[in-house]
Amino acid sequence: MDKSKRSFLKPKRPFRRRLPPLQSGDRIDYRNMSLISRFISEQGKILSRRVNRLTLKQQRLITIAIKQARILSLLPFLNNEKQFERAKSAVRTTGFRTKKQ
C-alpha cells in the first residue's frame, strides 16, 4: 500500500472483552436484592440493556424481578430523597404580590 492511502485506515486497538454482569450461578429473582440493585439507577429507574450489557432475555427477567420487588415493597418505586431535602431547605414566599400605588 502507498503511504498516502494508509493514513485513512484506523489504527487497530486490542479488543478487551468485558466480563458479563451476570454469572452462570446467579439466579434472577425478586428476593435477590444484591443482584437487582446493580441494575437500578440512583433515582430508582431501571437501567437500559445497553448500560447493563445484558441479553434481551436477561433484561426481561431483571425488569420483571424489579417490578415484583416494587409491588411487594422491597424496593421503592422512586428514590427522591435528595429532591425532598432540597425542597425543605428552600425558602419560599407564599404571599400575593400587590401593586404599588
N- to C-terminal Cα separation, the chain: 85
87 or 97, which is more confident? 97
Q: Is the dihedral of CA 62, 68, 69, 70 positive or negative?
A: positive
Give mean pLDDT, residues 68-87.
78
51 or 23, which is more confident? 51
Q: Which residues pair with 40 in a beta bridge?
A: 46
100 or 57, which is more confident? 57
pTM: 0.62
Residue-wise pLDDT tens digits, 11-41? 777 777 777 778 777 889 999 999 999 999 9
Could you give the CA distance from residue 21 to residue 58 in angstroms, rounded to a whole number? 10
Q: Domains in the chain and their CATH numbers?
A: 31-77 (4.10.640.10)
* Strand, coil or helix: 40: strand
Instruction: Check whether 89 has a pLDDT greater than 70.
Output: no
